[in-house]
Structure 1
Amino acid sequence: MTATNQQQINDWNGPVGARWLTYNDWLDERTAAYGQAAFAAAAPQAGEAVLDIGCGAGATSFELARAVGSGGRVVGVDVSEPLVGRARERAQALSLPVEFRLADASRPLFAPHSFDLLYSRFGVMFFDDPVAAFAELRRALKPGGRLAFACWKAPAENDWYVLPLNAIRGIVEQDAVDTDAPGPFAFSDPQRVVRVLGEAGFEGVELQPFEAPFYYGRGDSREAMTEDALSQVFRVGPIARLLAAQTDEVRDKATVAIREALSGIATGQGIAVSGATWVVTARAP
């Protein structure tokens, strides 16, 4: 295991994992449409064996389990102990036959040809060595087995990420997003996706764009929507990390600027921003 992979594991068992656990229901709701697009492309069938990569608290694993039925098999794998623990609790309450493993999906975990389908909703962009990780995952696929996942397109196409950052330009210095590093935008470049999966041994790699509104905030008034959205901006995403080392004065200025930006796009349905993804499919030879 590399040091960088270990850093990701530390993060998802530390503050990042804690935030995702606390706001898991909110995050599941906001990302459901993107996961459904990948689910449709994956087309899980009754009786199939499916691996859910980066399963988090299990929402996608449960959908897959319902699709494959009692004759199928679903295994969810994630590095975050808090999220896997929540997934196991939910599985017991739902009485669904899903196995959850606390493990790094890039490591050898399964016998060759164990699965018909590999699926992920935003769980495959965090590998330090993505070619090696996907080569290992491909070995777990049966010949002709399928891969389908959702990943974010470029930051500039995703206002859920860049809108609050743009609002505080001139207030807080910001580094450019490194889209080659492990993180939410590591697969934003379609050429890189094709190269990585090709070098890992997959065939028939295709990317289809999918966009859907990402609802930051809801409420009965513009003010309520704005405060709901503002609270989420500071809970999940880059803003909390960016402002952590700033003075109270800078944080106050940043809060005012972000509040104004959010209020300016509030509608009767809430505060919606752009969310743009790739739905990636491929198959094992």
Structure 2
Amino acid sequence: MSHMPTNIPDQSQIWNGPAGRAWVEAQSVLDDMFSGIAEYLTAQTRALGARQVLDVGCGAGATTMQIANVTERCVGVDVSEPLITLAQQRAVLADSPARFILDDAQVHDFENGAYDLIVSRFGVMFFNDPVAAFENLRRATRPGGALRLVVWRSATENAFLTTAERAVEHMLPDLSRRKDGAVGPFAFAEPGAISRMLERACWSRVRFEPVDFTASFVLEALELYMTRLGAVGLVYAELEPRLQAALVECLRQAYAPYTIDGRIRFTAACWVICADAEA
């Protein structure tokens, strides 16, 4: 029986289209912004003594490559061809042992029990059928293995992420608003529902730990961030130049409170989801 919800966008199409291309363009900004999370997941890998690690929704591979330095094998998987292509190029340039798979982790034919740790930095909130996806990831995990996922808490706790759409809603009334529980950044905001989902997918001892990460990037990258990422970024290129200019000015004012010492700084209010693959 399918667990798939209805009326959701095709994530493969999104991440192989505008969103994937935008993340390629903004790769250095995103790596800077979320460097603390990559360090956290690398530390978790060390603490657990994990040797075979799978990074789900790995994007351009920054976390995968960092973890690959402290373990026997780290493999990143992502549905986005633009991002996986960039990840592979970066691994070659860095002489990194990290490896990458272009596929949907929900359906990829992983070797049974191949990994002793599954990690993700904001890469698991986009599955069309999350129960099926986590059942597949459970099969890929050896008995006694573990899950460590970093996901966003609620939209309310992460006002920075919705700054753009709130600031310009009077100019773009049809702009989609991202909501808790919907497929997207805040899909895993509600611990009760996600705990039940993971238990249905045969994970045990599901725990949610609230962790606040300090996130920042250089002020010079703000316009790239505003116009290429998020809900505004998906529609910006299609707007006429006068409206684009008005949006940028409006957004600069909206992000002013986050500007400190030449950088954009905010708190990433996250859950770290921990679970076990029972022996």
TM-score w.r.t. the length of structure 1 is 0.85
- The answer to whether the aligner puts 1:278 opposite 2:271 as a matched pair is yes
Aligned-residue Cα RMSD (Å) equals 2.6
The answer for the alignment partner of 2:94 in structure 1 is 94
Question: Offset of 1:247 from its aligned partner?
Answer: 5.6
The answer for the alignment partner of 2:215 in structure 1 is 214
Question: Offset of 1:199 from its aligned partner?
Answer: 0.9
The answer for the alignment partner of 2:192 in structure 1 is 191
Q: Could you tell me whether the CA contact under 8 Å between 1:216 and 1:272 is conserved in 2?
A: yes
Question: Offset of 1:248 from its aligned partner?
Answer: 5.2
Q: Could you tell me whether the CA contact under 8 Å between 2:135 and 2:201 is conserved in 1?
A: yes
The answer for the alignment partner of 2:167 in structure 1 is 167
Residues in 2 aligned to 1:153 and 1:132: alpha-carbon distance in whole angstroms:
22
Residues in 1 aligned to 2:234 and 2:50: alpha-carbon distance in whole angstroms:
44
Residues in 2 aligned to 1:143 and 1:5: alpha-carbon distance in whole angstroms:
33
Partner SS for 1:155: coil
Q: Could you tell me whether the CA contact under 8 Å between 1:39 and 1:148 is conserved in 2?
A: no
Q: Could you tell me whether the CA contact under 8 Å between 2:177 and 2:231 is conserved in 1?
A: no
Task: Report the more deviating stretch, 163-172 or 104-113.
Answer: 163-172
Task: Report the more deviating stretch, 184-193 or 44-53.
Answer: 44-53
The answer for the alignment partner of 1:201 in structure 2 is 202
Structure 1: gaps spanning 5 or more residues: 219-224
The answer for the alignment partner of 2:30 in structure 1 is 27
TM-score w.r.t. the length of structure 2 is 0.87
Q: 1:265 to 1:5 in 2, by over 3 A?
A: closer
CA displacement, residues 157-215 of structure 1 (integer Å, 9 cap, x when unaligned): 22331122222243332444243332121111111221111111111111111223332
Return the letter of the residue paired with 1:8.
Q
Task: Report the more deviating stretch, 29-38 or 133-142.
Answer: 29-38
Identity among equivalent pairs (%)? 33
Q: Could you tell me whether the CA contact under 8 Å between 1:160 and 1:214 is conserved in 2?
A: no
Structure 2: gaps spanning 5 or more residues: none
The answer for the alignment partner of 2:181 in structure 1 is 180
Q: Could you tell me whether the CA contact under 8 Å between 2:126 and 2:184 is conserved in 1?
A: yes
Question: Offset of 1:41 from its aligned partner?
Answer: 3.6
Aligned counterparts, 1:148-163, within 5 A:
148-163=148-163
Return the letter of the residue paired with 2:101.
R
The answer for the alignment partner of 2:234 in structure 1 is 241
